[in-house]
Amino acid sequence: MIISPSIDIGHSETPPISLTYNSEQNFVITFINYDESLVDTVAIEGGLPTTAGNDISYQINYEFNFANQSYEDQINLNIDEFSNRDWTSSLNSTALEEQKENFQRKSIFNRQNGTAIDAQKLETFMASNPAETTLPDENRFYLYVFNLSRLDDSENDHWFNVTEVDPDSGRARFFWRLEWDYDLGENYNVKFPFAAYSNATEVSLIDPTAFQWYLTWRKIWNNINNPHLSYSYDLDSLLEGQDFVNQKFNTTDTITLWLDDWISRIYNMRFEPETLGSSISVQIQVMYWGSETTSGDLEWIINNQLVTDSVSNLLQPESTEVLVNYVDMGTDTYMGDIFTSHEHNYSYFQPSIPVPFDNWQFYDGFNLWFELANDATINSDYFSNDAADIVVKGLIYLVDDASFAGSTPWVGGLYTGLGGDRKLTILYELDRAFMADHSTAKSGLSRVLVHEIGHAIGIPHTFDSQGDTRMDTFTSDFALDVMGYYPGVSNYSQILTKLYRRATVDSITSQLIQTYQILKDERSDNHLNTVSDLFNEGIILHKGRNYLESFIKMNLALTILKENTFISITSTQSNSHSTIVDTNISGTSSFSDSTGSSISASSTSNNFRSPGLQIYIGIIAITILSLIVKFYNNKIKITR
């Protein structure tokens, strides 16, 4: 066990009060329908991370179990109940190679018959019927590794099935897009098999024997050199015809890869988090050309309430507003000129690659992001920087026949959006939004917007990490989370939500510990005892996953330590809200300027009210609802 930074509260003339923060992360890994002789758990554990976290280091503990016959029978019976015969899409790798080589629109999908397993029902069942474990409840997560090849035969395979509906158009997801901004020819009615899943609970389902096409697509499209065999075969196909030694090696190696990706990328606290409990304003300017479309045709394209709910549920704010304004760049020449000034020939971005297609415009998304960061007129006339404690600003361009472009070596350098440091930019080509008749809604912007908001507030992708030396890290992209590329979902998963909140508490706890080391000799025993009490209360709340309440305790302790004022504290008991997923949203706000029409949504969430903290300074009693300490990281990270 790692004892994370500890502090001694007190002076030399009095017995010191020792405070320690014991930080652990516990994983219960259960194998279902596996031959134990083929799974080397010692080798698997040796290939998994031993620590997690950024500001606070977490010791990772593992427990490996093989489901007993009774538990397996119960699970398999329910899987049969949750399954039905169906078809899904498979990948035509040859056609994709040709598409990538010459940028011609081609049909790259075929059909695969088999068994579709309802992923949501299975996740709910496993969360309600967890494996037995001896690991403590604190920061405990369950990962279930399945072998469901019993459902397969020579013509049929199996997969986790997920129903995804675009929140803006109301259409079920039926097409696959590359990172560039147009359709893959006639590739409609595409289906999306999942080989792993997690969304609404803290449970993860992983099945290396399941059918999927996404990893093969990634291998080809991203030029992944020496990818793991999982990028070409599901596990049961890989083992077919092998002797025992090779079967054991490949089973162990494949499971290790999948678990390492999930634990290193889904659970590893790779955040640069904002604060909890503060007010949030998301302000978006949607730019379009009036010659191509109208604001009235576009107002469906962002579901304000969904965006509000997603942000509110993640950060537990006192108030949230999402403000969307539509601007015709043909009328607003200032914004139009800024946009067109960043148009370049494709060779400007990719000197060695032929132009991917004719009659297309290419824009520098990174420099448009820097315009948002630095242009004084944009920031004063189009955004309100003091509207809330946290202001996320965005420029979205809805235009025809255009893409953002950059110098990245894969996907032709083309991309949809980027975000970082509370700012985001998106370019969404109109054919992505509308069907071929240019009027029927196909796919809106809410998912892309929530994804880029995530980057803007310090959340990375689900599938890789900054500076990763491996390219084949995409198995964790099967998590049903808006921060992935493969899923079509529009919300942050429960695992990401919990860990982001925890990272926020860890950040302020680390700051408190560091500040104490600097100021402890300048503070009285009364001050230090008060800080000690708040610190201990915060740790207890943290261990109980009451992250908002823990954040407030640590925040208050830090404020007292910094301000050097005689303060004594009495605190009232607060309710735990750490497991709430859905918040009650009410209230509206408006946002507009002279350049265009506006729509908006906002919320005030009573679910996450701060616990009552009464502070007495002399004889004057002041009730503090929340104290906000803003963290600002001077190292800007912009993520696509």
- Cβ contact 327:398 at 8 Å: no
- Cβ contact 397:292 at 8 Å: no
- Indicate if the pLDDT at residue 617 is higher than 90: no
Stretch among 190-204, 305-319, 338-352, 583-597 having the lowest mean pLDDT: 583-597
Q: How confident is the model at residue 599 (pLDDT cuts 50, 70, 90)?
A: very low
Stretch among 133-142, 363-372, 466-475, 507-516 having the lowest mean pLDDT: 466-475
Name the average pLDDT for the chain. 83
Provide the pLDDT for residue 569: 43
Nearest to 492 by CA among 518, 520, 460: 460
Report the CATH fold assignment for 279-458: Collagenase (Catalytic Domain) (3.40.390)
Provide the pLDDT for residue 624: 27
Percent of the chain beyond pLDDT 70?
Answer: 81
Any bridge partners for residue 426, and if so which? 396, 417
Provide the pLDDT for residue 188: 66
Give the pLDDT mean for 523-551. 91
* Residues 218-228: tens digit of each pLDDT: 999 888 888 99
**DSSP output for 347-394:** HHH-TTS--SSSS-EEEEHHHHHHHHHH-HHHHHHS--TTSSSEEEEE
Classify 601 as helix, strand or coil.
Answer: strand
More confident residue, 374 or 528: 374
Q: How confident is the model at residue 149 (pLDDT cuts 50, 70, 90)?
A: very high
d(CA 563, CA 343): 51
- Indicate if the pLDDT at residue 588 is higher than 90: no
Q: What are phi and psi of 277, to 5 degrees?
A: 80, 0
Measured on CA atoms in the order 5, 10, 11, 14, is the torsion positive or negative?
negative
Provide the pLDDT for residue 469: 66
The secondary structure element, H or E, covering residue 127 is helix 119-128
Stretch among 188-197, 287-296, 592-601 having the lowest mean pLDDT: 592-601
More confident residue, 160 or 17: 160
More confident residue, 640 or 57: 57
Q: How many CB atoms lie within 10 A of CB 209?
A: 25
More confident residue, 581 or 21: 21
Provide the pLDDT for residue 520: 85
- Indicate if the pLDDT at residue 181 is higher than 60: no
Stretch among 107-111, 171-175, 579-583 having the lowest mean pLDDT: 579-583
* Residues 362-412: tens digit of each pLDDT: 999 999 999 999 999 999 999 999 999 999 999 999 999 999 999 876 667
User: What residues contact 21, with CB distance under 8 A and at least 6 apart?
Assistant: 3, 4, 5, 6, 56, 509, 513, 539
More confident residue, 278 or 617: 278
Q: Where are the domains positioned within the chain?
A: 23-267, 279-458, 498-562
d(CA 532, CA 8): 9
User: What residues contact 81, with CB distance under 8 A and at least 6 apart?
Assistant: none
Provide the pLDDT for residue 7: 39
- Indicate if the pLDDT at residue 187 is higher than 70: no
Nearest to 500 by CA among 201, 264, 270: 270
Provide the pLDDT for residue 408: 77
- Indicate if the pLDDT at residue 41 is higher than 70: yes
User: What residues contact 341, with CB distance under 8 A and at least 6 apart?
Assistant: none
d(CA 433, CA 424): 19
Stretch among 79-93, 111-125, 538-552 having the lowest mean pLDDT: 538-552
* Residues 60-90: tens digit of each pLDDT: 999 999 999 999 999 999 999 999 999 999 9
Give the pLDDT mean for 163-172. 92
Looking up tokens 């997923």, which residue turns up? 581
More confident residue, 223 or 486: 486
Provide the pLDDT for residue 268: 82
**Token pair in block for residue 455:** 């980057």
Stretch among 46-50, 113-117, 168-172, 515-519 having the lowest mean pLDDT: 515-519
Q: How confident is the model at residue 4 (pLDDT cuts 50, 70, 90)?
A: very low
